[in-house]
Amino acid sequence: MEESLPTSTKARKTKRGNINDPPCLKKESTMAESSPTKAKKTRRQRRDESPYMSSSSEPLTEELQCSICLDVFTDPVSTPCGHNFCKTCLKKCWDNSQTCNCLYCKETFKQRPDLKINTTLREVIDHYEKKGPEKISVTFSEVVCDYCEERKLKALKSCLVCQSSYCETHLQPHLKVAGLRKHKLIDPVSNLEDYICQKHEKPLEMFCKDDQTCVCLFCTEAVHKNHNTVPLEVESEKKKTQLMKTQKVVQQMIQDRIKKIQDIKHLAEFRKRNTEKEKAAHVELFTDLIRSIERCQTELLEMMEEQQKAAEKQEQELIEDLEQEITELKMRNTELEQLLYTEDHLHLLQIYSSLCSPTNTKNWSEISIETDKSMTTLRRALTQLQDTLNEKLSHSVTELKWMQQYAVDVMLDPDTANPYLILSDDGKQVRDGDTEQSLPDIPERFNRYGIVLGKEGFSSGRFYFEVQVKGKTGWDLGVARESIDRKGEITLRPSNGYWTVVLRNGNEYKACAGPSVSLRVKPQRVGVFVDYEEGLVSFYDVESSSHIYSYTGQSFTDKLYPYFSPCNNDKGKNSNPLIITPVNCNK
């Protein structure tokens, strides 16, 4: 049998081939007989020795190649020893090393050189790239003819039988000689050894499906005799079909990521613009508040100063009055003292009445002094400041009123309602009924979770609606896109088409932003505002006119529908319905 021949014998038999082989092939065959390894080495050496710059008409290659990244120079720089590298490549190597040395000649530099762009070399690269951007990159992987003696020409084909590459001239025998025309020709490759069976030195023409490996014809009659083998072309076409599917998936992934980048950039731009507006508004607000506080402080201090002066004046007047009365009383006391020791009884009796009558003095027990008015003054000032603060913060009320002008009449769509939900006749209320109703399972209906959508969808402009959530321990509110999956498992997040705020366990308020965001609110009525073009979904506490949460920088493509879920009845604890209420813009 042919496969039982020794490898060397088969090789010799194959190499001798046809008597009409060209001289170059005969010469190669002779070399293979004496030393196959040496012959292969010689062919490899001839390929490696090919002079890419043998004439001025051939393109530059190695001269324009960075020895680090093995690609065309990008911002070429020169070291003090005269070698060239990409600036980024060299900088990265030096950043990761404790010493600075030339990656080509290993010369070490005591100080890190100041790298400057080699403008001449960069101009040469620009010249060749303008002339033909593909020429530089292609030249590095060019395969040259193994039989050109002096100037090596580009190979046109490689022969798997001869294990050599041929230019157009040296390829002619393979196109004309009958025996050579049977050889396997492929596009030129430099690694011909990888296309040859190492055991039989035959071209790898078959593919073993069992072992998932490429084999030669001799292998299919030996080790792989009972295996499922097919020609490489057949398996390659099959793999190409699979690769096309993979490519489509990859291309879609690329498009998805490009769109994601655009969304992120849009969101970043929107947030930056919105942040700048808010910063300016907050600076203005706090500047006004600071001015109000400073003015209030000045007025308070001036008032306290005036009160202090008035108190001092009052105190001084009271002291003067007291001192005057003390003087008068002392004089009377002296007179009384003299009369007590007088012997003139007539004189005592004559003036007795005048001395015993009440003196013309004030009742000082009824006169009091206000010790401290500062607390009263401070309280009055703080009340005034609170009024100013409330006035400054009224912008949120104004913002909500602006949104309320886009109020729409929302009606619940019974075709979307989960069978457990009970809708009111007017389509304005929804609650969990604890019992499944017999309803047709149409595509629009949610079949697993207690969800219902509004009847009307919106694909442009702005819209606003309000929902009463009073007395409930759980609910979901927001908007959802038309194309959401309404069957089976649902995860509330913008990437799945849901922009919602929810209540769980009676006191856990969250925005389902993926991941969720905890909220410190307790609304009784929630306002939902959407600006389709701006990509904005905002939630407000209507009673306090305060902002709850906003989804910003979103990218809407489908229609958006009002979204409602009253959540489970929870044994009567959450039996209250969600109620779509009229919007009172005049409140």
pLDDT in tens, 292-307: 888 888 888 888 888 8
| pLDDT tens column, 69-124 | 778 888 899 898 888 889 888 888 888 888 888 888 888 888 888 888 888 888 88
Tokens 């808010």, located at residue: 278
Q: In what order do the strands lie in the sheet with 560-565?
A: 452-453, 560-565, 475-481, 498-504, 508-511, 517-519
**Mean pLDDT over the full length of the chain:** 81
Q: How many CB atoms lie within 10 A of CB 45?
A: 10
CA 11/CA 197 separation, integer angstroms: 12
Tell me the average pLDDT across 339-352: 82
Q: Pairing mode, if any, of strands 536-541 and 525-531?
A: antiparallel
Q: What are 555's strand-pairing partners? A: none
Residues 6+ apart with CB under 8 A from 167: 144, 145, 147, 148, 153, 154, 155, 156
Higher pLDDT, 345 or 251: 251
Q: Confidence class of residue 125 from pLDDT cuts 50, 70 and 90?
A: confident
Instruction: Check pLDDT > 90 for residue 54.
Output: no
Q: What percent of the chain has pLDDT over 90?
A: 29
Q: Which residue has the tokens 């950043």?
A: 95
Q: Give the torsion through C-alpha atoms of 295, 300, 306, 309, to 10 deg.
A: -130
Return the higher-pLDDT residue of 496 and 122: 496
Instruction: Give the pLDDT score at 30.
Output: 34
pLDDT tens column, 392-447: 665 545 678 888 989 999 999 999 999 999 999 999 999 999 899 999 999 999 99
pTM (two decimals): 0.40
* Kind plus residue range of the DSSP H or E element containing 212: none
* pLDDT tens profile 527-536: 999 999 999 9
Q: Residue 61's pLDDT is what?
A: 56
Alpha helices in 182-230 (DSSP H): 217-220
pLDDT given for residue 369 in this prediction: 67
Q: What is the dihedral of CA 573, 575, 580, 584, to 10 degrees?
A: -50
Look up residue 479 and give its amino acid. Answer: V
pLDDT at 170 > cutoff 50: yes
